[in-house]
Amino acid sequence: MIKMKNISRRYSTGHTHTYVLQNITLDIKPGEFVSVMGPSGAGKSTLLNIIGMLDEASDGEYYFMDETVHELPEKKRSNIYKEHIGFIFQSYHLIDELTVYENLETPLLYKKIKSAQRQSMVCDTLDRFGIVGKKDLFPVQLSGGQQQLVGVARALITGPRLLLADEPTGNLHSEEGKKIMTLFQKLNDDEGVTIIQATHSESNASYGKRLIFLRDGRQVDGI
Amino acid sequence: MLKGYFKVAVRTMLRQRGYSLINIAGLAVGMACCLIITGYIISQLSYDDYHADNDRIYRVDQIERTKSAVSYDANTAPPLGPALLEIFDEVEYAARLLPANRLLKSGDHSAYENKFYYADQDIFNILSFPFLYGDSATALVRPNSIVLTHHVAEKFFGRVNPIGQILTVNDKEFEVTGVIADPPRNSHIICNALASLNYLQDSGIMNHWLFHAFYSYIKLKPGVDASDFGHRIKRIGDKYALDVFNEHGYSYDFVLQAVPDLHLYSHPYIGPEPSGNPLYLYLFGAVGLLVLLIACLNFVNLTTARSMTRAHEIGLRKVVGANRLQLFRQFMGESLLLVFLAAVIALALSEILIPHINAVTGTALETGDFARSELLWVLFGLLVLVGLAAGVYPALFLSRFHPSQMLRGHAQNPTGGMTLRSILVVVQFTISIVLIIGTLAAHRQMAFMQDRDLGMNMERKLVVPVRGGLSLRSNYQEVKNEFLRHPVVTAVSASSEGPGHDLSCLYTKVLDTEEGRVQSIPYIFIDGDYLTQYDIAMIAGRAYQNEFSSDSTDAFIINKSAVAALGFTSPEEALGHRMECGYGDRDGIIIGVTEDFHFMGLQEPIGPLVLAWIPPLLNHLNLTLKANHLRENLEGIKNIWHRLYPDHPFEYYFHEETFNRQYQAEERLGRLFGLFAFLGVMISCLGLLGLVSFMVERRAREIGIRKVLGATVSGVVMLLSRDFAKWILLANLVAWPLAYIAIRRWLNDFAYRINLGFDIFILSGLLVILVALITVSFQSVKAALTNPAEVLKCE
């Protein structure tokens, strides 16, 4: 599904370059559950952003489902990730002005899905995640764990084939975190959703089936 | 989808209540300005558009030429109208109006009517006077008939139909034959009473080609080329009175003026009602647009400034699948919502302010005017335009954000785009400063004109007109003595209407020089006491004296400027020469020359003037009052009047006030500029407030850290204010030259003007800096006082 060859990401600061990622090469097949591990500043988030097409690599080749992403114009790229990829952030990143229902509905709106179908998809998702009673609340009225749950729900509502999770349980306590990770596992096992998570928690990583280590922007161990 | 955008727009607006309020307020004020000015301009342009066939109606004016002068006059001679009708097929109707002041009386009720006209019956076929009672086809046929406007009729006869009732006009009986609707305010001529011109049929003046006191109107048949026709009537007077003209050294060209153009495009100092000035229309239009511009700049500035806080939401929406167009539409929607609210408020504001606008500008807007269709279209147009224009840039700007920037937590532009914002703020303040300087200059010029020594003393002069059929001719000495008996009255003289009113010009000819120069010169008619009473200085010869009876039959006094105008080289040389004036060919010797004094407003240079003593023309009493309690002593003076003239109402005015009314236009200009300057500054400060809040927010952490490191409150305030002070200074530098050029240009129209001193500029600059600093200080002091601990919490 994902093939990366010598991907690098650098920033120009004055006369020098700072490399956040250097020469990353990897191959991820559909249905895998990969954990990217490493200390703070290792480049995990950046890698996830590049995979999710939220950011562009400075060098290297990136193939997503056999599409040559590094050569695609922005519009096409956004179409791909809209279609296939769901993103879960560490700090929930919900739109504060919208209710839970509306937050879930937003990705569907942007895909121009018709009203009746939208309604049924949102209701299904609310039901599945057990948050029906909260549908008219605003994010500020929810607890941390609940907000993250909504974030996961939103990422999944369009039925993406790839789920990218950036420290999904970083701001949660262990109970809530366990719930999320179990959910991920279920998605991967039962529905074959490819999951790539960035984490520095070993217990989280253990839910996955493969490990990639990053340090100072480079891969260490693992393929 | 639209509903979603709307919901988010409303919630976003409510969340940022402060900003939304500032934004809407600023925009509403700017739009209200535009609306008001548009209303004013439309009302000025709409004068006389209510007449039927108003593309065919004209007034005939004349250009009078002598060997040495040319003058334009709206008043023409009585035979003109009938002559045009007789000679030219193209003329469908011709009619004349003769203005007069008359005392109207019915039963116990009596009042002077200033807007009284004698009129030809056919005037109703040229100008539109809707009849409420009576027949427009016959109302003024009989000589003793009179048509009244609705409010005049009500004043004398109550609410009943007054047709057939008798009204005395200067003690002569007239029959009411019609009542017309009160004329709309946007008329170049307001007639409150129309009496039949046939009343004057036998008075001998109706055939006189040199008696220029009438307004002559014609209506052309359909399809006539007006400019061609205008050429053909040019010398029509010559056909009838060429020898009379030649005898007096005059020649006349007649010109057509379309009635709808009369208000704006006729010569400023002629015409029955105050005329408009097209220059002012442009001026106010420009000012209105400028204020709206400031408001729009504000809007753009504030909206883009807030974009920093929305980077998160924008990036997120993009992650979730929004494309740029969808985001653009969302932000345009938010802008349009704000703009719509602002527009509604602007409309309400304009309606509420109508009475005040009327007071300041002297226009005639009526409540509900803004709800009339034309203005509503303007409003919509404005809405769309402003919303689009102001919303486009921020929408483009915001939709450009990249999700990765949001995720990294950086603002797209570390400086927050302050350069662009600074430019916008500088522009706003520049405009405001120019307006402030303009206001100060206008006020100073006004004060200068009002305070300047006029060369005559009009202080404490109570003027009592003697009219309505009364005359001072027989008993004027007794009348004067009666008033002198009142302890508060220190001097009395008699004269015609003096400075502060339009003076009539008379034909004047020097009889005993070779050249025999002929001029048309303004006259004031005075008696033997006038010159001393008004402290007018003589520079040659002597003043009139009551002891010399020949002074009132065979003498003239002229002013210094008249000396040269009549062809003399010095005042002394003029003395002793004989001259003739156009009042019954009265002639006399020049016995004195006065110093030039300002008998017209200071907009005009002092021209020639003749002060003639012609008793029949003395119809005003001038009373000098002792300084204290001017108004209280009026009762006593009023009683004296009623003893003398029991049947006539007492009227008076203070000479100084009337004279200063000549500056009305300038005063209005000053007031309007003041108003717009205030608004401009207010809107700019609103914008400044929004920006400061934003900047403070952005630098909150920096300020917190500085405080921890030891910065004082005043140090922090200075830090924040420094940038703004720079902008305002820059705004001043740009504004001063612009203002200087514009004001010099305006002042050039005044014969007597102030020097544009530096202090006006510095004062304006200081004023703006002060106001801006106060605005900035609200937020910066608050920020400086914030506890650093609150700000430096980790996320």
In the chain, the amino acid numbered B760 is I
Query: Which residues are within 8 A (CB) of B427 and not within 5 positions of it... i.e. 6 or more apart?
Result: B294, B297, B731
Same domain for B762 and B672? Answer: yes
Judged by CB atoms closer than 8 Å, whether chains meet at A154 and B323 is answered as no
Does the beta carbon of B172 lie under 8 angstroms from any beta carbon of chain A? no
Cβ atoms of residues B658 and B600 within 8 Å: no
Q: Which residues of B touch A82 (CB under 8 A)?
A: 321
Closest residue in B to A112 (Cα) is B1
Evaluate whether residue B651 is within a structural domain. no
Evaluate whether residue B610 is within a structural domain. yes
Q: Give the tokens for residue B438.
A: 């303009």
Residue-range domains of chain A with CATH: 31-56+81-220 (3.40.50.300)
Same domain for B229 and B119? Answer: yes
Closest residue in B to A92 (Cα) is B316
In the chain, the amino acid numbered B28 is A
Evaluate whether residue B392 is within a structural domain. yes
Q: Which residues of B319-344 are buried (b: 16+ CB within 10 A; e: fewer)?
A: bbbbbbebbbbbbbbbbbbbbebbbe
Q: Give the tokens for residue B33.
A: 């300005």
Q: Determine the pLDDT at residue B197.
A: 92
Q: Give the tokens for residue A183.
A: 């959910």
Question: What would the pLDDT profile of B126-179 be if each residue is shown by its tens digit?
Answer: 999 999 999 999 999 999 999 999 999 999 998 889 999 999 998 899 999 999
Query: Which residues are within 8 A (CB) of B432 and not within 5 positions of it... i.e. 6 or more apart?
Result: B294, B677, B680, B681, B684, B731, B768
Q: Give the tokens for residue B439.
A: 């206001």
Same domain for B601 and B666? Answer: no
Give the angle subtended at the CA of B668 by the CAs of B664 and B673, to the nearest 5°: 150
Does the beta carbon of A89 lie under 8 angstroms from any beta carbon of chain B? yes
Q: Is B144 exposed, middle or buried (0-12, 13-18, 19+ CB in 10 A)?
A: middle
Cβ atoms of residues B544 and B593 within 8 Å: no
Secondary structure of B690-707 as H, E, C letters = HHHHHHHHHCHHHHHHHH
- Region B347-372 average pLDDT: 72
Judged by CB atoms closer than 8 Å, whether chains meet at B313 and A97 is answered as yes
Q: Is A161 exposed, middle or buried (0-12, 13-18, 19+ CB in 10 A)?
A: middle
d(CA B599, CA A19): 87
Closest residue in B to A98 (Cα) is B8
Residue whose entry in the numeric block shows the structure tokens 């009132």? B552
What mean pLDDT, rounded, does chain B reach? 83
In the chain, the amino acid numbered A214 is L
Domain boundary among B206, B230, B265: B265
Q: Give the tokens for residue B253.
A: 């060209």
Least confident of A184-193, B304-313, B488-497: B304-313
Residue whose entry in the numeric block shows the structure tokens 């400031």? B294
Evaluate whether residue B654 is within a structural domain. no
In the chain, the amino acid numbered A86 is G
Cβ atoms of residues B491 and B529 within 8 Å: yes
Same domain for B640 and B669? Answer: no
Judged by CB atoms closer than 8 Å, whether chains meet at B15 and A45 is answered as no
Does the beta carbon of A113 lie under 8 angstroms from any beta carbon of chain B? no
Q: Which residues of B touch A109 (CB under 8 A)?
A: 1, 4
Question: What would the pLDDT profile of B418-476 be if each residue is shown by its tens digit?
Answer: 677 778 778 888 888 888 888 888 888 888 887 888 888 888 888 888 877 777 777 87
Q: For chain B, first and last CA: distance in Å?
A: 34
The confidence band for B342, taking pLDDT boundaries of 50, 70 and 90, is: confident
Judged by CB atoms closer than 8 Å, whether chains meet at A49 and B326 is answered as no
- Region A47-58 average pLDDT: 84
CA distances from B623 to B199, B459, B462, B465, B645 (A): 35, 11, 5, 11, 17
Same domain for B379 and B259? Answer: no
Same domain for B156 and B233? Answer: yes
Q: Which residues of A touch B322 (CB under 8 A)?
A: 110
Please give the share of chain A, as a percent, with pLDDT higher than 70.
98
Quick one: which of B288, B284, B281, B372 has its CA closest to B34? B288
Gap from A185 CA to chain B (nearest CA, Å): 23
Gap from B406 CA to chain A (nearest CA, Å): 10
Does B268 have pLDDT greater than 60? no
- Region B707-711 average pLDDT: 75
Query: Which residues are within 8 A (CB) of B279 and not within 5 positions of it... i.e. 6 or more apart?
Result: none
Let me know how long chain B is: 795
Give the CA diameter of chain B. Answer: 105
B559 phi, psi to nearest 5 deg: -100, 175
* C-alpha A4, offset from chain centre: 17
0.95 surpassed by complex ipTM: no
Complete DSSP assignment for B246-283: HHHT-EEEEEEEEGGGHHHHS-TT-SSSPPP-HHHHHH
Q: For chain A, first and last CA: distance in Å?
A: 15
Judged by CB atoms closer than 8 Å, whether chains meet at A111 and B321 is answered as yes
Cβ atoms of residues B75 and B213 within 8 Å: yes
d(CA B529, CA B481): 13
Complete DSSP assignment for B462-529: EEEE--TT--STTTHHHHHHHHHTSTTEEEEEEESS-TTSPPPEEEEEE-SSSS--EEEEEEEEB-TT
Gap from A39 CA to chain B (nearest CA, Å): 17
| Exposure on the CB side of residue B400, measured as CA atoms within 13 A | 12
Q: Where are the alpha helices (DSSP H) in B167-235?
A: 226-232
Q: Looking at the DSSP assignment, which residues form a beta bridge with residue B520? A: B507
Judged by CB atoms closer than 8 Å, whether chains meet at A93 and B316 is answered as yes
Complete DSSP assignment for A127-187: HHHT-GGGTT--GGGS-HHHHHHHHHHHHHTT--SEEEEESTTTTS-HHHHHHHHHHHHHH
Q: Determine the pLDDT at residue B269.
A: 56
- Identity of the residue in A54, A95, A105 whose CB atom sits nearest the CB atom of B407: A54
Does B97 have pLDDT greater than 90? yes
Please give the share of chain B, as a percent, with pLDDT higher than 70.
92
Domain boundary among B220, B239, B265: B265
Q: Where are the alpha helices (DSSP H) in B400-486?
A: 403-408, 418-451, 476-484
The confidence band for B411, taking pLDDT boundaries of 50, 70 and 90, is: very low
Same domain for B338 and B253? Answer: no
Q: Determine the pLDDT at residue B308.
A: 65
Judged by CB atoms closer than 8 Å, whether chains meet at A87 and B319 is answered as yes
Evaluate whether residue B220 is within a structural domain. yes
Gap from A86 CA to chain B (nearest CA, Å): 8
- Identity of the residue in A75, A93, A107 whose CB atom sits nearest the CB atom of B321: A107
Domain count, chain B: 4
Does the beta carbon of A187 lie under 8 angstroms from any beta carbon of chain B? no
Same domain for B565 and B597? Answer: yes
Does the beta carbon of B410 lie under 8 angstroms from any beta carbon of chain A? no
Residue whose entry in the numeric block shows the structure tokens 């040389």? B573
Q: Which SS3 state, helix, strand or coil, does residue A31 take?
A: coil
Judged by CB atoms closer than 8 Å, whether chains meet at B318 and A49 is answered as no
Question: What would the pLDDT profile of B514-572 be if each residue is shown by its tens digit?
Answer: 877 888 888 999 988 999 999 999 999 999 988 888 888 899 999 999 998 888 999 99
Rg value, chain A, Cα = 18
Structural domain containing residue B727: 431-452+661-795
Same domain for B633 and B719? Answer: no
Closest residue in B to A151 (Cα) is B320
Cβ atoms of residues B382 and B343 within 8 Å: yes
Please give the share of chain B, as a percent, with pLDDT higher than 90.
24
Same domain for B255 and B359? Answer: no
Evaluate whether residue B273 is within a structural domain. no
Domain boundary among B380, B412, B444: B412
Quick one: which of B531, B448, B518, B450 has its CA closest to B491? B531
Q: Give the tokens for residue B619.
A: 């119809």
- Identity of the residue in A55, A87, A95 whose CB atom sits nearest the CB atom of B313: A95
d(CA B345, CA B325): 30
Judged by CB atoms closer than 8 Å, whether chains meet at B317 and A110 is answered as yes
Judged by CB atoms closer than 8 Å, whether chains meet at B321 and A110 is answered as yes
Rg value, chain B, Cα = 34
Evaluate whether residue B6 is within a structural domain. yes
Does the beta carbon of A49 lie under 8 angstroms from any beta carbon of chain B? yes
Q: Is B173 exposed, middle or buried (0-12, 13-18, 19+ CB in 10 A)?
A: exposed
Does B604 have pLDDT greater than 90? no
- Region A157-183 average pLDDT: 84
Least confident of B24-33, B168-177, B414-423, B620-629: B414-423
Same domain for B115 and B188? Answer: yes
Judged by CB atoms closer than 8 Å, whether chains meet at B11 and A97 is answered as yes
Gap from A208 CA to chain B (nearest CA, Å): 25
Q: Determine the pLDDT at residue B793.
A: 55
Of the spans B92-106, B368-382, B389-403, which averages the highest pLDDT?
B92-106
Same domain for B145 and B21? Answer: no
Evaluate whether residue B272 is within a structural domain. no
Q: Give the tokens for residue A180.
A: 């999320």
Judged by CB atoms closer than 8 Å, whether chains meet at B8 and A93 is answered as no
Beta-sheet pairing, A210-215 with A33-37 = parallel
Q: Which residues of B touch A94 (CB under 8 A)?
A: 316
In the chain, the amino acid numbered A198 is A
d(CA A6, CA A20): 13
Q: Determine the pLDDT at residue B795.
A: 41
Complete DSSP assignment for B106-172: ETTEEEEEEEEEEE-TTHHHHS---EEEE-TTTTTTSTTEEEEEHHHHHHHHTTS--TT-EEEETTE
Beta-sheet pairing, B610-612 with B555-559 = antiparallel
Torsion of CA B672, B673, B677, B680, to 10 degrees: 70
